[in-house]
Amino acid sequence: MMGPTLLALALAVLAWVLVVGDLVRRHRPAWHWYVVGYPVTACRVVFTWRRVALLNDLSVSRLPARTLIGHLLVKGDPVRPAAPRLSFPRATRMGLTVAVQLHAGQTPATYLKAADAFVHAWKVHAVRVTSPERGLVLLTAMASDPLQRPGLATAPAELLSALIGALESGGAWVMNLRLVPHWLIVGATRSGKSTLLARLINQLAPQPVALVGIDCKGGMELGLFAGRLSALATSRREAVAVLGALALDMQERMSVCRSAGVRSIWELPDKLRPVPVVVIVDEIAELYLSDGRRESKAETEQCSTLLLRLAQLGAALGVHLVVAGQRVGSDLGPGVTALRAQLGGRICHRVNDPGTAEMTLGDLNKDAVAVAQAITAEERGVAVCTGPDGSWSRARSHLTPTEEAVSTARKHAALTPDLPALDRALAAPEGDDK
């Protein structure tokens, strides 16, 4: 009687283990990492460290590489090099961290080069190398891609600051225009650029800020938010008019600052301070590429000069640029490289050519370029972004449905500041010359 009951019980337990085990394997809940993943990975880190360090030239021998035997100078590789000292691996929500004491003469760059070797040796999704203090390197191993299902990050509301999404570290991805006044956003088609711009507008719409759109794709993208835009240019000719009017407006702002004896509009008393303006450009190539005709060439040159002027002087005068494009390269014109130098904030989604990733991140963070190039077509909304302290991180924007962004823009349409100079400039040009 006991036999069949025990058998049925054993079968039930087995079925339960199989079903639950499969669910756990597929969904990887957080406790699974702490109970199974972390102890296994921590053992791998500790037990493979000597060998990994040796194979990647991180170990250093205390013996000199040359020594004198009698009257002979003997050169060679000293035996038994010592691996750098490793701290105990500490579990985090998404992986683990270990601190490594650098040998004298070593720099974090050697560890950056070995990051791929760590990934394979420890069987983790990625390893990031940072140096929080001199002589120390922090290796952060991530068990799986935290951006596959990023949590909803939060950040305090601040003027000219937008919560864009979540960072790979689990923190909030914030675009703060007071800290980094101008931004360059690149991404191939369907990489998540427009969604990010919609998110930015969604976040800035409730703030006392003027939003100006330049969308030379006939206003198809930014036209959706027209109710909250103080001006919208939908052709290059209109873009020249709007940028020219903004350049003149900046001169007025300068004279207000000069008469008040201050260096930036933020030092002016509230009642004198002009409203901050955020200029959003969708598809920079439309402003820079000419069809060879004389007027077209003149317009591209004007756009290039005016954008550069706004970028050079805008930060102190409350004029901010957010420039987006599918591709950025010096072939767009000599002005592009100069403009890029002024756009301190960079966001690079998946791109089709290595040149664009190099152009966007290469001058600030060489090691971020390879990470940006590894973003796949499935990872929509994932990007490499720079932080205000010069660091970089992988991040994912919060998916803001277009309807939600449009309805937020409509809801706050009454807050739209009037910029009569821009309206006049837009009313002036005749015809349309795309």
Ligand X SMILES: Nc1ncnc2c1ncn2[C@@H]1O[C@H](COP(=O)(O)OP(=O)(O)OP(=O)(O)O)[C@@H](O)[C@H]1O
Q: Binding residues for ligand X, per CB under 6 A?
A: 187, 189-195, 326, 380-381, 396-397, 399
355 labeled part of a ligand binding site? no
Nearer to ligand X, 273 or 398 (CB): 398
Nearest-angstrom CA–CA distance, 323 and 334: 16
CB of 355 to ligand X, least distance (A): 18
Position closest to ligand X via CB: 381
Instruction: Round to whole Å and give the CA distance between 395 and 240.
Output: 34
Q: Tell me if 188 is assigned to a ligand binding site.
A: yes
Considering the complex, state which of residue 96 and residue 347 has its C-beta at the smaller distance from ligand X: 347
Nearer to ligand X, 215 or 249 (CB): 215
CB of 184 to ligand X, least distance (A): 14
Q: How far apart are CA 235 and CA 153, in angstroms?
A: 37
Q: Which of 272, 328, 281 is nearest to 303 (CA)?
A: 281
Asked whether residue 314 is marked as a ligand-binding residue, the answer is no
At closest approach, how far in Å is the CB of 42 from ligand X? 32
CB nearer to ligand X: give 187 or 344: 187
10 Å Cβ neighbour count for 312? Answer: 14
Q: Are 393 and 167 in contact (CB under 8 A)?
A: yes
Beta bridge partners of 66: 75
Looking at the chain, how many residues does it have?
434
- Per the annotation, does 131 bind a ligand? no
191 labelled binding-site residue: yes
Of 122, 209, 121, the C-alpha closest to 159 is: 209
Q: Which two tokens stand for residue 255?
A: 């004279």
Q: For residues 327 and 340, which CB has a smaller minimum distance to ligand X in the complex?
A: 327
Shortest distance (Å) from residue 171 CB to ligand X: 16
* Residue 195 C-beta: closest distance to ligand X, Å: 3
- Cβ atoms within 10 Å of 377's Cβ, excluding its own: 9
- Angle (CA) 265 266 272, round 5°: 55
Q: Which is nearer to ligand X, 190 or 366 (CB)?
A: 190
Greatest Cα pair distance in the chain: 100
DSSP 115: H
194 labelled ligand-binding: yes
Residue 267 CB, shortest distance to ligand X, in Å, is 37
CB-based contact 143:95 (threshold 8 Å): yes
| Annotated binding-site ranges for ATP | 187-194
- Binding-site residues, in ranges, read 187-194
